[in-house]
Structure 1
Amino acid sequence: MKAEAWIFAACTIFLVLVTPAYWLITDGSEHGGDWTGTSALVMTTLLTLMVTVYLGFHAKKMDARPEDRKDAEISDGAGELGFFPPYSWWPLWTALTLGTCVAGVAAGAWWLFIIGGVLGAIALCGWIYEYYRGVHAH
């Protein structure tokens, strides 16, 4: 995870340099720079710093992965990479019911929001319990 920590550290350094520059460049009014963009850049800087610290902290505790070692061979990374789920229709139904809920709120039709919420609960349960029944059951 050292490589990932260095990537996020580079992003953090970049944002630390860009944020005050953005504040100074957008200083077009008498009240200072653009508060919206500057606050977004500050929050982005803090988030990348948080990820950098997390990855750096855990990289010290973990054994080196093949990606982190300079003497590693390609065959060191061979083997099972993890579980990758097969195709699923449940994300489509969940997204459609969320769209129905949003359309109901936007149009002021609360009955449509309720229908979308009920169908969304069914779709979400189907998505969560997808691997407990059927062809892909564990």
Structure 2
Amino acid sequence: MKIEAKLFLYGILFFFPVGLIYGLWSDGEPVGTVGIPLVGGLVGMIGGYFALLARRIDPRPEDDELGDIEQGAGNQGVFSPWSWWPLVIALAASIAFVALAVGWWLMAPATALGAIGLVGWVFEYSRGQHAH
């Protein structure tokens, strides 16, 4: 996680000076003058979280500068190859975006469909009382 922490923390060094320069060049235009430093704060919070997380977990092969590709081989997690639930969530998201253009009444079925899809995706492999 060290490379991710560095990537986001370097974003602070970019967004704060750019926000200052933007504020000076735009004569204090309020949206960009406030928004760009806020993005710097957001990437700082993400980078800080990744830095704290990097201290708690073991180093990964990506963190070793002299590491080989073979060090990352093996099981990377559990993925469901035949799951239809991401398609349901994508349909709900598309209906939600259509609601922005057509009408807010479409947001209710989009939210309901998204909740059903998310619950279905999370509990797809749960069978029985203590199944995982």
TM-score (norm 1): 0.69
Q: Does 96-105 or 67-76 show the bigger shift?
A: 96-105
Report the Cα distance in structure 2 between the residues aligned to 1:14 and 1:130, rounded to whole angstroms.
42
Offset at 1:3?
Answer: 1.2
Offset at 1:52?
Answer: 1.4
Q: Aligned pair count?
A: 127
2:86 corresponds to 1:91:
yes
Offset at 1:100?
Answer: 6.9
Report the Cα distance in structure 2 between the residues aligned to 1:22 and 1:123, rounded to whole angstroms.
42
2:57 corresponds to 1:69:
no
CA RMSD, 1 decimal: 3.2
In structure 2, the residue matched to 1:30 is: none
Larger Rg: 1
Unaligned runs of 5+ in 2: none
SS state at 2:125 partner: helix
Q: Percent identity?
A: 39
Offset at 1:119?
Answer: 6.2
In structure 1, the residue matched to 2:124 is: 130
Q: Is the 8 A contact 1:12 1:45 kept in 2?
A: yes
Counterpart code for 1:17: P
Distance change (3 Å), C-alpha of 1:89 and 1:16: same
In structure 1, the residue matched to 2:4 is: 4
Unaligned runs of 5+ in 1: 28-32
Report the Cα distance in structure 2 between the residues aligned to 1:118 and 1:8, rounded to whole angstroms.
32
Distance change (3 Å), C-alpha of 1:95 and 1:74: closer
Report the Cα distance in structure 2 between the residues aligned to 1:118 and 1:49, rounded to whole angstroms.
31
In structure 1, the residue matched to 2:18 is: 18
2:54 corresponds to 1:59:
yes
